[in-house]
Amino acid sequence: MIHFESDYLEGACPEILERLVETNMDKTEGYGEDPYCESARDKIRKACKCSDAEIHFLVGGTQTNMTVIKALLKTYEGVMDAPTGHISQHEAGAIEFTGHKVFPLPSEDGKISAAEVKKFMDDFLKDGNRDHMVRPGMVYISHPTELGTLYTKKELTDLSNVCREYGIPLFMDGARLGYGLMATDTDVTLPDIAELCDIFYIGGTKVGALFGEAVVIPKPGLIENFFPMIKQMGASLAKGRILGVQFDTLFTDDLYMKISGHAIHMADKLEQGLRDKGCRFFLETPTNQKFIIMDNKKLEELGKSVVYEYVQAYDDNNTVIRFCTSWATEEKDIDLLLDLM
Amino acid sequence: MIHFESDYLEGACPEILERLVETNMDKTEGYGEDPYCESARDKIRKACKCSDAEIHFLVGGTQTNMTVIKALLKTYEGVMDAPTGHISQHEAGAIEFTGHKVFPLPSEDGKISAAEVKKFMDDFLKDGNRDHMVRPGMVYISHPTELGTLYTKKELTDLSNVCREYGIPLFMDGARLGYGLMATDTDVTLPDIAELCDIFYIGGTKVGALFGEAVVIPKPGLIENFFPMIKQMGASLAKGRILGVQFDTLFTDDLYMKISGHAIHMADKLEQGLRDKGCRFFLETPTNQKFIIMDNKKLEELGKSVVYEYVQAYDDNNTVIRFCTSWATEEKDIDLLLDLM
Amino acid sequence: MIHFESDYLEGACPEILERLVETNMDKTEGYGEDPYCESARDKIRKACKCSDAEIHFLVGGTQTNMTVIKALLKTYEGVMDAPTGHISQHEAGAIEFTGHKVFPLPSEDGKISAAEVKKFMDDFLKDGNRDHMVRPGMVYISHPTELGTLYTKKELTDLSNVCREYGIPLFMDGARLGYGLMATDTDVTLPDIAELCDIFYIGGTKVGALFGEAVVIPKPGLIENFFPMIKQMGASLAKGRILGVQFDTLFTDDLYMKISGHAIHMADKLEQGLRDKGCRFFLETPTNQKFIIMDNKKLEELGKSVVYEYVQAYDDNNTVIRFCTSWATEEKDIDLLLDLM
Amino acid sequence: MIHFESDYLEGACPEILERLVETNMDKTEGYGEDPYCESARDKIRKACKCSDAEIHFLVGGTQTNMTVIKALLKTYEGVMDAPTGHISQHEAGAIEFTGHKVFPLPSEDGKISAAEVKKFMDDFLKDGNRDHMVRPGMVYISHPTELGTLYTKKELTDLSNVCREYGIPLFMDGARLGYGLMATDTDVTLPDIAELCDIFYIGGTKVGALFGEAVVIPKPGLIENFFPMIKQMGASLAKGRILGVQFDTLFTDDLYMKISGHAIHMADKLEQGLRDKGCRFFLETPTNQKFIIMDNKKLEELGKSVVYEYVQAYDDNNTVIRFCTSWATEEKDIDLLLDLM
């Protein structure tokens, strides 16, 4: 069997394991106060061109989303996102568990627009009953989105502007950020994100690390006393250095970008190959997730050799499936998959 | 000025105040353990034809909704409702504060259908990622709905059946229940509701009481240790007898039905009068809320003499407004309003 | 049977009922925006000598405590109180339900001291692990306390100073405030409280109203957007005027003080009578609650004619019980009780 | 500098790193559904002599405590523990964040007794106000405790019996479980724990793993739908195999016991050496934590060469400090420390 069902099938890129082995018997302080975390923070700040940024390392995506959102919202506020947003769909109610409503704004492609945010805010602000309603207090986006799409710099700038106009923070879930930054035609860079977002994270779990998400607050002070909040959510890692070592490695010699670029290269090759074979795409995506429409009979056959992700029924005879590449995808598996299609 | 903006403009129906005065200096236990509450419970049980029902008196609607929903759901479950449901719109995030997601199901008229509940449950149950999703754990409906519409007995039976098929409770918000029960053509009775719903409440605040909602659990045992939960939510009234006296009065000599019937009579007269004058209705409603479409210029004029509730813009030149009648509406005000239209 | 078990046995003082009857058919806005609430606020401001105070009316004590505490604390903070504090004992976990820890400070008499608060803050601030601990973020006191004791002006000033030194708010639960203000030898006035506390409430439920607590914020701005928070907690009363009318009446012609004074007069008479009969007091209390130690056999006899509150076993042969007077206590019942002892 | 301040100073025992490297490029399912987790579960079941046990792998201790406690308690219940319990002290309010009260029972040595649990339950059950109080719904203990002490089998059996008598679960935090199981004179084995506790966890973070805690439910069915709860708390690791590989390694060839035994051997040597030098012990502890009383001047000197953990002031001239050994402690460092004392 060859595997294309997700981008977290393997462990970590070998450079990370090597570094974990090398540093293993060093004795360090816990909870992110060690020199590896410090070094990783410096390198991330440089990559973001943001020398003051406050950086925290958390373990996983849902945990990071719930911790950041709870920290940013007042108790009576909610968060706007896309209907397909991770927080709306696949976090088992983690945001609601922290006491907050998620507002899905209209969206077809996993992105939300400045115009929709503006409309939602205006509708709220002019509603005579607004004191009986949940106040929209922040915007959550993913880049790439759960549908593999990307914001343009223009779209991101517009979102940022509208958020600043209304005084609400813009939070970017970057669980797959590397695959967005290295997409062939994107015009959005890491420094752009650091300029336009109030808080975002650089995903490790899906981009070469064993686990870990690096939360970046470009302008420190956005969240007061963030560490006790992280601790209260059970989201601080005792041996924080494990996160430090991983991100320090990922941000040494551009490793994060290199391995993300590999995934994109594999994804582009896969897409071209699929197009050459006449495959129908459900959605145009410039990143490491490809969504295609398959005839059910062919799909049954394919399933004997390939593990894919089922997305949804397309119609009675066809199904939408997803193939993912990652930092770990081998070119021979792409060739094999294309042969099988 | 004449007032039609809501159904909670006045205090209580005079019978209630008289009874409060009469019983004022009696000394009773607190927290619903007094003889007035006991008597009210008996009368409600009789009205529901449900001799075992467990009955709790709470103060207000939002409080009741959040307390019941929290008590019924497991921590990882959510509640289905209509997009216009009170819990989705005008409770300032009370449900999310208790840790639960609200799922708005498709609906045009404030009601949700058995078919939509079934579809939502089936989609959830067959989703391979369901363990990463909020589990739909109950259905919340209002009768009348926030849009003044009513379920038929057939619709309610279908909803009840689908809920029982999936093992989830059906909860009816009856904040305006009297106005639903006394609607001219309804085929739904209080005993029907007690048979078809797992829990519901009989609204006092909008139907003749100073305040108060009577939660009815037709089959006791649905919620274990409900009182400590009510207390933990700050929802128990120390002098519970004030609630007991009110509901005891409302369920003596059919008062609840009589005063509700008056509101319907006034609403029917208002509707007929408006139709005679060629008014356009935004929505057909058999209860005490009438939604009409008004030309903006005429509306400005009307606003000098009448307080109405703004609902939404209809188009550039027209607006949807709501008139409410209640147990306290005087026929002369209806005549005056019709004259002004 | 004569009743001395609590101070919420009856309805409301007759002036309140009269006023509810008089104003019953007035049509007003909901949720505290009516003229009765406005008038009550003005009178309370005058009584507090605090012309800018922000005032909100809530229904009950537990509800008020949880709403105020949640509104004041950051999510990772806790509240200091006495071990006998209402929030520690008899609110069924309402504070914890809002996500916050209660820290009981050492106390023998229901009061906490500035010194204990200072010690607790200092211990926290110098603890190297403080980022792994709940941060003490406010002080909750009751005046009178649950044990019927009172702070002196000096004690209250010290508490206020220590709170301001550490930048944490001081919150007074005044569920029985009238009985404290009218205690014979107290030197604490309502304006003192408004000066020394950051937020407090004037209890209605136990002092002459059907229900209701008036939250006073002497310096507005302490809590931003308090109304949506109140609504989110299910703590706003639709017909807010019912609260307005009650507090407006209580603060007309000094009624609140007069009826409180009556309770104190009755309590003083009871205490003197009990002392004359050689009763042992468990605790010295200048307010409307008297705690005495009774021989178990005599108590059994007494229980045939008097309803009292059981407090705790004193030793194998004696029991601590409580008698309460209130605005509604009749002198003949005091005489009867003294005869029975 | 030599380090004795904690037991999580290094990475993981080398066997774990080797195995992570070996298995790194295997492709597996996420969220604990992989063969490494399955294999680890089997080995743990064998070690516990509990063939049906349900086993979940979580990342850290606070996270595990809050997830298990929330899953076990009804919304209106609280958890009993010792005043020094981790959940009472160093989890930044994580338990309260989930809505639950922590009840510290009297304890001098970090342990709680069956007698105290019984007394607390009885006091609650006979309290006339119990419906206004938080219901004690489970017992949390640590073994070893935060003070390094251990339960005897008799004590644990008594606790278990009292919990079963009252129908409440007994939960053991085993963050340092290995160091308890390998203590020289303990009579408590892993199968004993599996028999006497309703749920417990085997700590990895402090006992040889990079991170990870293995939650064992000896009788499956205690918690229904535990995975969605774990996910909702942000506590599930996407690449769950990293946890599986670690615990599989720890439970292969008795590694967990061997490395724990090493820590105990080092701790016993340290204790004997300290006794030989006339050190005063603050507390007798048979595990890997040693608490001693040091003269402040000598401590200042010692601090130049040794990192220790400050515990508390003992008196004006002396301080209580803690030394920890672990799986990673080198004998030469013990010798060095003893030389320095």
Residue C184 near residue C286, CB atoms below 8 Å: yes
Instruction: Walk across the sheet containing C170-173 and list its strands.
Output: C54-58, C213-217, C199-203, C170-173, C135-142, C77-81, C102-104
Q: How confident is the model at residue B331 (pLDDT cuts 50, 70, 90)?
A: very high
Mean of the per-residue pLDDT values for chain B? 97
D168 token code pair: 């409440």
Chains adjacent to A (≥3 CB pairs closer than 8 angstroms):
B, C, D
Range 68-107 of D in CB contact (< 8 A) with C: 75-76, 78, 89-93, 96-97, 99-102
Residue of B66, B233, B329 to mutate for C, most C C-beta atoms under 10 A: B233
Contacting residues for C5 by C-beta, under 8 A, at least 6 apart: C307, C308, C309, C322, C324
SS3 content of chain C, % helix, strand, coil (to 5): 40, 20, 40
The number of residues making up chain C comes to 341
% of residues, chain D, pLDDT over 70: 100
Please compute the mean of the pLDDT values over residues B121-137 and round it to a whole number: 96
C15-254 CATH fold: Aspartate Aminotransferase; domain 2 (3.40.640)
B176-195 mean pLDDT:
98
Residue type present at position B147:
L
Q: Nearest residue on chain A to D33, judged by CA atoms?
A: A9
The pLDDT value given to residue D300:
96
pLDDT of residue C266: 98
* SS3 assignment, position C306: strand
Residue B187 phi, psi dihedral angles, 5° rounding: -110, 15
Phi, psi of D103 (to 5 degrees): -105, 105
Record: contact A232-D93, CB cut-off 8 A = yes
Q: How far is D31 from chain B (nearest CA, A)?
A: 10
What pLDDT, on the 0 to 100 scale, is given for residue C185? 93
Q: What single-letter DSSP state applies at residue B4?
A: -
CB B233 within 8 A of CB B70: yes
**pLDDT band at residue C91 under the 50/70/90 scheme:** very high
Return the HEC string of chain D: CEECCCCCCCCCCHHHHHHHHHCCCCCCCCCCCCHHHHHHHHHHHHHHCCCCCEEEEECCHHHHHHHHHHHHCCCCEEEEECCCCHHHHCCCCHHHHCCCCEEECCCCCCCCCHHHHHHHHHHHHHCCCHHHCCEEEEEEEECCCCCCCCCCHHHHHHHHHHHHHHCCCEEEECCCHHHHHCCCCCCCCHHHHHHHCCEEEEECCCCCCCCCEEEEECCCCCCCCHHHHHHHCCCCCCCCHHHHHHHHHHCCCCHHHHHHHHHHHHHHHHHHHHHHCCCEECCCCCCCEEEEEEEHHHHHHHCCCEECEEEEECCCCEEEEEEECCCCCCHHHHHHHHHHC
Q: Where in chain C is the domain with CATH 3.90.1150.10?
A: 2-7+256-340
- D228, A59 contact by CB (below 8 A): no
Give C85's pLDDT tier (boundaries 50, 70, 90): very high
**pLDDT tens, residue by residue, B235-293:** 999 999 999 999 999 999 999 999 999 999 999 999 999 999 999 999 999 999 999 99
Alpha-carbon distance B68 to D297, whole Å? 62
Question: Measured between alpha carbons, how far is residue C47 from residues C19, C41, C53, C223, D334 in Å?
Answer: 20, 10, 11, 22, 70
Tokens 């000098």 — which residue? B304
d(CA C141, CA C81): 6
* C-alpha distance from residue D267 to each of A169, B1, D325 (Å): 51, 85, 6
By DSSP bridging, strand C306-307 and strand C289-295 are unpaired
pLDDT score at C148: 97
Query: Which residues of chain C have a CB within 8 Å of the CB of D128?
Result: 310
DSSP secondary structure string for all residues of B144-157: S-TTS----HHHHH
Please, which residues bridge with residue C318 across strands?
C295
Interface of B with D in 230-249 (CB under 8 A): 231-232
Which residues in chain B touch residue D70, judged by CB atoms under 8 angstroms apart?
Answer: 75
CA distances from D159 to B208, D176, D215, D251 (A): 55, 20, 20, 28
Contact check, Cβ <8 Å, D237/A23: no
Measured CA to CA, the distance from residue C73 to residue C58 in angstroms comes to: 19
Every domain of chain C with CATH number 3.40.640.10 lies at 15-254
Instruction: Please report, for residues A114, B207, B210, B320, D122, the alpha-carbon distance to residue B326 in angstroms, rounded to integers and kept in the order given.
Output: 43, 7, 13, 20, 51
Determine contact, residues D207/D177, Cβ cutoff 8 Å: yes
CA atoms within 13 A on the CB side of B97: 35
Which chain C residue lies closest to A71 (C-alpha atoms)? Answer: C75
3-state secondary structure of C336: helix
The token pair at B61 is 């609607």
The segments of chain D whose pLDDT lies below 70 read none
Beta bridge partners of D77: D135
Residue D281 in contact with residue D293, Cβ under 8 Å?
Answer: yes
Q: What is the pLDDT of residue C297?
A: 96
Search chain A and give the residue with CA nearest D232.
A94
Tally Cβ neighbours within 10 Å of residue D248.
24
Nearest CA in chain B to A134: B92
Closest residue in C to D93 (Cα) is C134
B271-286 pLDDT, tens digit per residue, is 999 999 999 999 999 9
pLDDT tens across the length of chain A (341 residues): 999 999 999 999 999 999 999 999 999 999 999 999 999 999 999 999 999 999 999 999 999 999 999 999 999 999 999 999 999 999 999 999 999 999 999 999 999 999 999 999 999 999 999 999 999 999 999 999 999 999 999 999 999 999 999 999 999 999 999 999 999 999 999 999 999 999 999 999 999 999 999 999 999 999 999 999 999 999 999 999 999 999 999 999 999 999 999 999 999 999 999 999 999 999 999 999 999 999 999 999 999 999 999 999 999 999 999 999 999 999 999 999 999 98
Taking the C-alpha atoms of residue A136 and residue D183, their distance in angstroms, rounded to an integer, is 55
Residue matched to tokens 């199904």? A319
Distance from CA of D73 to the nearest CA of B (A): 11
Give CATH 3.40.640.10 domain extents, chain B. Answer: 14-254
Nearest by CB to residue D93, choosing from C78, C89, C92, is C78
Set of chain B residues whose Cβ sits within 8 Å of the Cβ of D227: 131
Interval B14-20 mean pLDDT: 98
Going across the sheet that includes D289-295, the strands are: D280-281, D289-295, D318-324, D309-313
* B:5-44 residues touching chain A, CB 8 A cutoff: none
Which 3 state secondary structure label does DSSP give A32? coil
Q: How far apart are CA A114 and CA A155, in angstroms?
A: 7
| Separation of alpha carbons B189 and B197, rounded Å | 12
Give the nearest partner residue to A94 out of D205, D234, D242, using CB atoms. D234
Q: Is C225 on the interface with B (CB under 8 A)?
A: no
Helix (H, G, I), strand (E, B) or coil at C321: strand
Query: β-pairing, D309-313 with D318-324?
Result: antiparallel
C100–D93 CB contact, under 8 Å: yes
Looking at chain C from residue 246 to 305, which residues have their Cβ under 8 Å from any Cβ of chain B?
Answer: none
Could you give the 3-state DSSP secondary structure of residue C137?
strand
Dmax over CA atoms of chain C, in Å, equals 62
CB proximity list for D339: less than 8 A, separation 6 or greater: none
Q: Please report, rounded to a whole number, the percentage of residues in chain B having pLDDT higher than 90.
A: 100
How far does B122 lie from chain C, in Å, by closest CA?
32
Do residues D67 and D233 touch, judged by C-beta distance below 8 A? yes
Instruction: Annotate B227-294 with DSSP letters as a single string.
Output: HHHHHHTT---TTTHHHHHHHHHHTSTTHHHHHHHHHHHHHHHHHHHHHHTTPEESS--SSSEEEEEE
A9, D28: Cβ pair inside 8 Å? yes
Query: Is A92 within 8 Å of D238 when comparing Cβ atoms?
Result: no
CA of C134 vs chain D CAs: smallest distance (Å):
4
| Positive or negative: CA dihedral C169, C175, C178, C184 | negative
Say whether residue D131 is in contact with chain B using an 8 A CB cutoff. Answer: yes
For residues D297 and D271, the answer to whether their CB atoms sit within 8 Å is no
Q: Chain B residues with CB inside 8 Å of A131's CB?
A: 92
Contacts of B71 in chain D (CB under 8 A): 75
- Look at residue A305 in the predicted model and tell me its pLDDT: 96
What residues are paired with D203 via a beta bridge? D213
Q: Are A316 and A331 in contact (CB under 8 A)?
A: no
Of all residues in chain C, the one with the smallest CA distance to B236 is: C60
Looking at beta carbons, which residues of chain B come within 8 Å of C26? 10-11
Question: Which chain A residues contact residue D12 at CB under 8 A?
Answer: 24
| Interface residue C161 vs chain D (CB under 8 A) | no
Q: Which of C8, C20, C28 has its CB closest to that of B17?
A: C20
Q: How far apart are CA C161 and CA C177, in angstroms?
A: 21
In this complex, do D99 and C96 lie within 8 Å of one another by their Cβ atoms? yes
The answer as to CATH 2.60.40.1220 being correct for domain D14-253 is: no
Closest partner residue to A225 (CB to CB) among C76, C225, C228 is C76
Token readout for A287 is: 């990143």
Distance of CA C97 to the CA centre of its chain: 21
Q: State the Cα angle at C153 between C152 and C154, rounded to 5°.
A: 90
Looking at the domain covering B2-7+256-340, what would its CATH class be?
alpha beta
Give burial (CB, 10 Å; 0-12/13-18/19+) of B185. Answer: exposed
Render C191-249 in DSSP notation, one character per residue: HHHHHH-SEEEEE-TTTTSSS-EEEEESSTTSSTTHHHHHHHTT---TTTHHHHHHHHH
- Answer whether the bond into residue B136 is a cis peptide, omega within 30°: no
Q: Cβ–Cβ of B76/A90 closer than 8 Å?
A: no
User: In CATH, what class is A14-254?
Assistant: alpha beta
Rounded to whole angstroms, what are the CA distances from A111 to A105, A106, A140, A207? 9, 9, 10, 21
